[in-house]
Structure 1
Amino acid sequence: MSRRTLAITALTLALIGSLYLVNSPSSSGFNMSASGSQGVPGLEFKLSQKSKNPPSVLVTLKNNNPSSTFTILKWNTPLDSHAGNLGVFKFKDAETGEELKTDVLMLRRKMPIEQDQLQEIAPGAEYSTEVTFSQPWMPREPAKFKVRAEGTYAAAWDKVIGEVEKSELDAYTASPYNDRTFSSEETLLVVE
């Protein structure tokens, strides 16, 4: 390789590295805690075991925000009717820490967004739903897993469901909380 080629390569790498550092989140401003400073302010997911056979969890979304009502699009959250197949839940063997390999489906979503795909949650309120893990990848023999939910919101608005305009639903990726993260604490899931 010639000196000129080496110089151009080094300059290109330095430029790419500089662009990455300028455009990446700073370590002081990036936090993926359970309450999620990058998430929707005050919204928190909690998981608890509901059933052992078939294994299921009760997913509870709580709004700890003292003054804001939120409307979220359920897509790709633990509230999604397809959540068990979307990779929203992460499983680790409770004894070995080995991650359970799960199959993830890619869905084509029906537009326009229908009202049953939205969830309103008022300050201090909770909404719960049960998610059953009956997929072929879930072990049928007795086992114990640590399970958590994590991902990103497709859309959320700080308003009641009736105030979300059709134009906002059509352009849901422009919502104020699009791509904000959510994460729950781990809970024990026993399979019998």
Structure 2
Amino acid sequence: MNTRTVVFTALAVTLLGSLYLVYSPSLSDFSMPGSDSMASQGVPGLEFTLSQISKSPPSLLVTLKNNNPSSTYTILKWNTPLDPHAANLGVFKLVDAETGKELKTDVLMLRRKMPISQDDLQEIAPGTEHATEIVFSQPWMPETPGKYKVRVEGVFRGVWEKAVGDVKENELAAYTESPYNNFPFASEEELLIVE
């Protein structure tokens, strides 16, 4: 091999290596399933808050706030505190304030009707909130007076970063592929007094 061939080969390898480094994805572009830090933090700007509005029967006002300054979200209510069956879906975690013992919640297994209806969706624009009342009158709820720490916890089944009218039927049918599917939600604890 002559010197000219060696120099040309070295230059070609260097050039190809440089192009590879410039145009190849970096390691930070790759993530393992379940390791997405955004997913572990929940949907950006959405926050659940709780406040007691009645002691007998014990009732909470659950408020979903959209603190995101620019994003409108459409939420699939299923298995969230906005679900009409929320009190029996295990999204509310109650702990006896005196003993620290968590109350066992009877969880309903529901068969959902498809296609998803407009009643199953909630649009929430930037800077707005949506509230719903939850009455704790289910058989698993204690009837004796007491104090309980309550919070909500679970995962969204479907969230789209768009107005409800912009969510297409095929997106609803494939709700498990929505951008924020399986993103968690949670609230701070609130004291629930039962009289």
What RMSD over aligned residues (CA atoms) do the two structures have, in Å? 1.7
1:122 maps onto 2:119 in alignment: no
1:97-136 CA distance string (max 9 Å, x none): 1101110010000000000110000000010000111111
Residue aligned with 1:167, SS: helix
**Greater than 6 Å deviation, 4+ residue runs:** none
Instruction: Tell me if structure 1 keeps the 8 A contact 2:40–2:183.
Output: no
Question: Which AA in structure 1 matches 2:187?
Answer: S
Counterpart for residue 167 of structure 2: 164
1:38 maps onto 2:41 in alignment: yes
Query: How many Å apart are 1:38 and its aligned residue?
Result: 2.9
Counterpart for residue 186 of structure 1: 189
1:77-106 CA distance string (max 9 Å, x none): 000000000000000011111101110010
Aligned counterparts of 1:60 and 1:25: Cα–Cα separation in 2: 28
Find the partner of 1:175 among 170, 175, 178: 178
Find the partner of 1:80 among 83, 101, 111: 83
Residue aligned with 2:152, SS: strand
Counterpart for residue 150 of structure 2: 147
Question: Which AA in structure 2 matches 1:95?
Answer: E
TM-score, structure 1 normalization: 0.82
The alignment covers a number of residue pairs equal to 165
Query: How many Å apart are 1:50 and its aligned residue?
Result: 1.3
Query: How many Å apart are 1:24 and its aligned residue?
Result: 6.7
Structure 1: stretches of 5+ with no match in the other structure: 1-21
Find the partner of 1:59 among 46, 59, 62: 62
Aligned counterparts of 1:69 and 1:41: Cα–Cα separation in 2: 11
Q: Map residues 5-24 of structure 1 onto 2, 5 A cutoff.
A: 23=32
Residue aligned with 1:128, SS: strand
Structure 2: stretches of 5+ with no match in the other structure: 1-30
1:152-174 CA distance string (max 9 Å, x none): 00000000000000110111111
Question: Which AA in structure 2 matches 1:87?
Answer: G
1:89 maps onto 2:92 in alignment: yes
Counterpart for residue 71 of structure 1: 74
Instruction: Tell me if structure 1 keeps the 8 A contact 2:50–2:60.
Output: yes
Aligned counterparts of 1:111 and 1:25: Cα–Cα separation in 2: 28
1:100 maps onto 2:103 in alignment: yes
Residue aligned with 2:41, SS: coil
Question: Which AA in structure 1 matches 2:137?
Answer: S
Query: How many Å apart are 1:30 and its aligned residue?
Result: 5.0
Counterpart for residue 13 of structure 1: none
TM-score, structure 2 normalization: 0.81
